[in-house]
Structure formats: structure tokens, C-alpha cells
Structure 1
Amino acid sequence: MTGPPITELNTRAREIFRLVVEGYLDSGQPVGSKTLAGGAGLNLSPASIRSVLHDLESLGLLAAPHTSAGRMPTDLGLRLFVDGMMQAAEPTLEERAAIERRMARPGPIEAALTAASAVLSDLSACAGVVMVPRREPRLQQLQLVPLSPGKALAVLVGEDGGIENRVLELPLGTPIGALQEASNYLSAHLGGRTLAEAVRAIAAEIADGRTALDTASRDLVERGLAVWSEDSDHRPVLIVRGQANLLDETAIGDLERVRSLIDDLENKQSVASLLDAAREADATRIFIGAENRLFALSGSSVIASPYRDREGRVVGVVGVIGPTRLNYARLVPMVDFTAQSLGKLIG
């Protein structure tokens, strides 16, 4: 989704465009030419303003809802405004204090993460979201225990004493000896490694032909690793707070959109996948409306920022989700400050 650079708009068009966007973000309502002529200090007639509005609409930056003669920014227009015109306002001292105070309360790190999503929700009047750091426990062993023809139980034991089980589908006729050989091989290569490290090392060894495993045992090793890798990738831990904020007085005439957004938020796997796109960002990312497929129908925006541990590694993402008429200038720095504050608490 690309539009004209802001420099291609003349001074009059830029000013009118800015006033329409700011008026819409403030009120949630389309802005008409009479409103602009009456209170914006443009010294232009409504007819002249309508001409400029028409040009901006032709560029795909504004739209005119069929229920109103006013204009509102499109997703493309909001992107142009956010990237080229917005002047971010740093969080106030009160907002900074509220964020730090809520997250600094005694308790486990999970409590701070929940507090981060709650305080962002309170301050933004949106839904606050936090993706919990992915746990990468060091492993001790992985045993494959026969259950029935065609099935085995994969038992993963961590160095911290944690035990988790998964049912593994097997080719019919898999010999018991292959299960034992695969178990011994996996346990020998997992010790002290995270699952991701073990997967990379074992895959490289198998690819290079540096293993004496027979075909059946090698297949079991790959199946055993796959069931855990796939499971880990599809187990996002996401904290969402403040969905009720989305049902404010401006939502009364747009309940279908709000209902769609709340349904989207219930699909935590999809939300986590979207937030995951912000993990590698150097700064706060903004997803506007149809720029992401998840919230395209609900016409919603996401402001998300990665947070890091004390060694600078990205361990999660924090952000807010709400209607496209968010106060981006206020919320982008607020989300960024929250991410920095969380980073100070992560060991």
C-alpha cells in the first residue's frame, strides 16, 4: 500500500489533509468543508476546500462515507500522515510514573507483564497486549515410549525437572528397537541445549550423514523433534487486557466492526503471529487497518514495540490494539516507553 510522498502535495493540500486527519482522529467523524472553512483559519471558501478535498480523494488519501458529505482518511492516508506529518508527543511525567509504578509491584515477572498490558489499556482506552517471553528451557532427555500400534508417547524432560508429554504418530510396523535407538540418540544430543539448538545440531548431523542411525530410527528422531517444534511454534502466550474499552460511545454506530475486532482478539494465535512481525523491528511498528489481514475487516490498528532483556535480546512484544482513529502521536511513544520499562525488569 503506497501513496504519493508528502512532498508531492502543495502547501494548501498538506494543510487541509492534516486538518482532516487530525479532526477525524479527535472526533472519529468525517470532517466537512464547512467545518474546515469555519474554524481552521484557512482563509479559503468552502468551494475551494471542496476542490482540494476532491483532489486528495482522487489520490486515495481521503474517502467520503456515503452517509456523510465530510471526508475521513483512508488507511493509505493515515499511513502517509503517520510517516510524514505526525509529531510524536512524549509521555507525560504522570503517564511515565503510572507505567513504572504498576509494573514495579512485587511479584513474578508474569505479574509485571499483565500489569503492562493493563496500564497500556487504561492509558490508551484501547486493548493492551503483551506477548510473554518465549521460554527456552535447557533440556535433559527425550524418551519415545510405545503406546499402541501407530502411536508413541514423546516424553521431554528439562534440566529444571519439568516434564511434558506429546502423542507421536508412527508408521505402522515401527520396531520397538528403533524407538529405543532414537530415544538414546535424542537424549545424547539434547543434554544442556534448548530445543531450537538441538534441532539445528541434529538436522545438520543427519544432513551430513554423520549419524549411524538406520532409516527407521532417523525417521523417529525427525518426528520426535517435529512434534515439539510445531507445538512450540503454535503455543503463543499472549496477555490481552481492556477489550471492554473498545465498546465506547463512538462504537454505538459501528457495532459490527467492534464485534469483529473483539472476535479477532479472541484468536490469540493470529494476534501473536501479527505481533511477532514486530519482534525484529528496531523501533515501534504501526499496522494500520488493511495493512494486516487479521484486522482488515474490523478496520483496526496495532501499535507494537519489541522489548529486550538486559543482554539486548528481543524476548517479547508489547502494544495496543484499537480503531484506526488512534492518537498515534501520543500512543507510539507510550508503547515505546512501556517496552523500555519492561526490558529493565527482564533478567
Structure 2
Amino acid sequence: MVSPPITELNNRAREIFRLVVEGYLSSGSPVGSKAIAQQGEINLSPASIRSVLNELETLGLLAAPHTSAGRMPTDTGLRMFVDGMMQVAEPTPEERAAIEQRLSEPGPVEQALAATSAILSDISAAAGVVMVPRREPRLAQMNIVRLDEDRALAVLVGSDGSVENRLLALPRGASISALQEASNYVTARLAGRTLAQAARVIQAEITSGRSELDAASADLVERGLAVLSEDAAQRPVLIVRGQAKLLDDQALTDIERVRSLIDDLENKQSVSELLQSARDAESTRIFIGAENRLFSLTGSSVIASPYRDREGRVVGVLGVIGPTRLNYARVVPMVDFTARSLGKIIG
């Protein structure tokens, strides 16, 4: 059913609709005519209010659960409220300062991304999600340190200060001098390149016979770059925090829906594909209930915003996933501010 534009509702219907939606978002429960009348904002009897509620239900904006005489907004009703009636509550100076402080703590980028997902979970009382930027660090230095006869530790220092440590299988008879030569070669010749670029340069030089490395050292360089590149390719593309917050008192009445939602969150690839659709958005996007295929059966909403690096390029998407009763007025501007704050520290 196609709902009417909000402008086509009369003032009385608009006000009652607003009270139902705000009451539902606040409590998570259907709102009845008696509760609306007791608020004192509408000078109508419960019977008159019920008549308006019936009209709004006929229009597809409200629904009446079987277990209650009250009404709750449909996905269509929530969409109309969010697009045409919601008054956003911008973050306070204290909230802005708290977010920026948590994001500015020293550490690798991955630590800031994990902090971001936790912040989003805290401000929404739902699950916070952050897509990890699909990019490789550029080499600044690589050291290969022997652990025992068969193993070494490949230590990669990125130009952004990040450090990666990976176990490396040593070829039989690898000498200390070969390890040192391989480390020096990478640092001197391949600095400033991504892992993929460095691997291509090494392969081209070895194939053409232009490499200054002996066979043992060249083998070590190839092994070190390969194990680091393979790990980067397998790294999770999504960080999720706060799934447990989905199990609130309201969720206990619909535990199967919440279990299905948590299962969806565990399928990070599918969630990433959904967030990817917000990558080209100019601002925060809101997906409500059945509007998104992934969560159509769980009655959940997604609030997502792209975040950019210092040069303005989109490098990922962050957001909140939770029940449709999310506090949109508060969460939407907080997600937007968090995205802008994260962008300031992404190189």
C-alpha cells in the first residue's frame, strides 16, 4: 500500500501519528488512545483518538499487534516520520568531545576502528558496525628475525606507524646473513610501496636476473611478502560491537527475531554488502525494516554513513544496526558526527 505524503494528513492526524511514533520509539511498546489522551497534548476523547488511529491504520501508517489494543508504526509509517517529521537532536559539545577523545587515543588505525564501533553501540544501545578500509599499508621497514631452525618472525613496519608480525617458515639452511640481507633489501629498495607492489617488483627483478639478492635471500623476501599479503587479504572487512545490547527487555518478547538478527550480524560478508550500498551517499542513510533485503525478516533498521580520509575519499562505511524502535532523532546525527570525526584521523 502506498501511503499519502505527510502534507496530506490534517493537523489532528499528524499530531496523533507523531505521538504514536514517538511513544513507540521511546518505550518499544504499542501506544493506545487512552495513553495519548492522558498526555494532554490532544484535546480529544479516547474514542475520537481511536477513530483517527483507525484511519491511520487504514492508510498503512500504523498497525495493531494482536496482543495489544495500541498501535505501532509500520515500516512505511516510520519512513514517513523520519523523512518528514523527525526533529534531530544534534550531539552536545560534551558528547562531541567524548567521541573525539576516544578516537584520538594513540594506536594503530585498527584500534580507532574498533573504538568507533564501540562508540556507535554505546550511543544507540544497539550493534555498532564499521567497515575496515580496503587498503594495504605502505612499507617503511621489514625485519626477518630467526626464532629457531625452522621459523622466523616477519616484522613489517608501515609508513603509517602500524606494525604487523607474522610467523614465517624458513627454508632449510637459511643463514643469519641471508635474513639480514633480505631485511635490508626490502627496507632500502621497496620502502613506500604496498605489499602487492613490492611483490611485483621482486618477482620482476628475480625473473629478469636484475636482483642483487642471492637465491636464499630472494626466497626469504618472497616468503615474507607473501605471508603478509595473504594475511591482509583474509582480514575481516567488518568490525561489530554490541550484539549483546540487542537482547534487551523488549527483545525477550520476540527472541526468534533477535536471534535471527544476531545470526545475520555474524554473516559479516552480507552485512558488508548492505553497508556498501551507502558508500556513495552524500550523508547518512537509513534503511527501515523490509526496505533492506538482508534484515527484512528481522524487523531491524540500519543507520549508515560513509567516512572519508583527509583527502575526502570514501574509505569505508560505519553505522548502527538494531530494532526499528531506534532513537533515530539522536542516533542519526551521532552517526554522522562519528563518521566525520573518524575521517579526521584516517590518513
Same fold per TM (> 0.5)?
yes
The Cα shift of 1:99 comes to: 1.1
SS of the aligned residue for 1:333 comes to helix
Taking a change above 3 Å as real, the CA distance of residues 117 and 104 of structure 1, as seen in their structure-2 partners, is: same
**Deviations 1:106-131, CA, capped at 9 Å, x for gaps:** 10011001000011111221111000
> Does the aligned pair in 2 maintain the 1:98–1:119 contact within 8 Å?
no
Return the alpha-carbon distance in structure 1 between the equivalents of residues 113 and 194 of structure 2: 27
**Deviations 1:76-133, CA, capped at 9 Å, x for gaps:** 0000000000011101222212211111111001100100001111122111100011
Return the alpha-carbon distance in structure 1 between the equivalents of residues 2 and 285 of structure 2: 17
Aligned to 1:177: none
The Cα shift of 1:135 comes to: 1.2
SS of the aligned residue for 2:54 comes to helix
Q: Give the aligned CA root-mean-square deviation in angstroms.
A: 2.6
The Cα shift of 1:73 comes to: 0.1
TM-score, normalised to structure 1's length? 0.72
> Does the aligned pair in 2 maintain the 1:235–1:269 contact within 8 Å?
no
Return the alpha-carbon distance in structure 2 between the equivalents of residues 40 and 299 of structure 1: 31
Is 1:59 the counterpart of 2:67? The answer is no
Aligned to 1:112: 112
> Does the aligned pair in 1 maintain the 2:136–2:194 contact within 8 Å?
no
Aligned to 1:145: none
Q: What is the identity, as a one-letter code, of the residue corresponding to 1:314?
A: V
Aligned to 1:168: none
Aligned to 2:39: 39
SS of the aligned residue for 1:119 comes to helix
Return the alpha-carbon distance in structure 2 between the equivalents of residues 302 and 274 of structure 1: 9
Is 1:76 the counterpart of 2:63? The answer is no
Return the alpha-carbon distance in structure 2 between the equivalents of residues 312 and 53 of structure 1: 47
Taking a change above 3 Å as real, the CA distance of residues 3 and 303 of structure 1, as seen in their structure-2 partners, is: same
Return the alpha-carbon distance in structure 1 between the equivalents of residues 194 and 243 of structure 2: 39
SS of the aligned residue for 1:341 comes to helix
Aligned to 1:286: 286
Aligned to 1:341: 341
The Cα shift of 1:137 comes to: 7.0
> Does the aligned pair in 1 maintain the 2:61–2:77 contact within 8 Å?
yes
Q: What is the identity, as a one-letter code, of the residue corresponding to 2:24?
A: Y
Runs of 4+ in 1 over 2 A off after TM superposition: 192-195
Return the alpha-carbon distance in structure 1 between the equivalents of residues 61 and 2 of structure 2: 10
Taking a change above 3 Å as real, the CA distance of residues 194 and 75 of structure 1, as seen in their structure-2 partners, is: farther
Q: What is the identity, as a one-letter code, of the residue corresponding to 1:133?
A: P
> Does the aligned pair in 1 maintain the 2:307–2:316 contact within 8 Å?
yes
> Does the aligned pair in 1 maintain the 2:117–2:130 contact within 8 Å?
yes
Aligned to 1:219: none
Aligned residues: 265
Return the alpha-carbon distance in structure 2 between the equivalents of residues 237 and 77 of structure 1: 33
Aligned to 1:126: 126
SS of the aligned residue for 2:250 comes to helix
TM-score, normalised to structure 2's length? 0.72
Aligned to 2:12: 12
Is 1:264 the counterpart of 2:264? The answer is yes
Taking a change above 3 Å as real, the CA distance of residues 22 and 127 of structure 1, as seen in their structure-2 partners, is: same
SS of the aligned residue for 2:29 comes to coil
Runs (5+) with no aligned partner, structure 1: 139-158, 163-191, 196-227
Aligned to 2:179: none
Runs (5+) with no aligned partner, structure 2: 139-157, 165-192, 197-228
The Cα shift of 1:32 comes to: 0.4
**Deviations 1:226-278, CA, capped at 9 Å, x for gaps:** xx9xx97x976100001011111221211111111101100000000000011
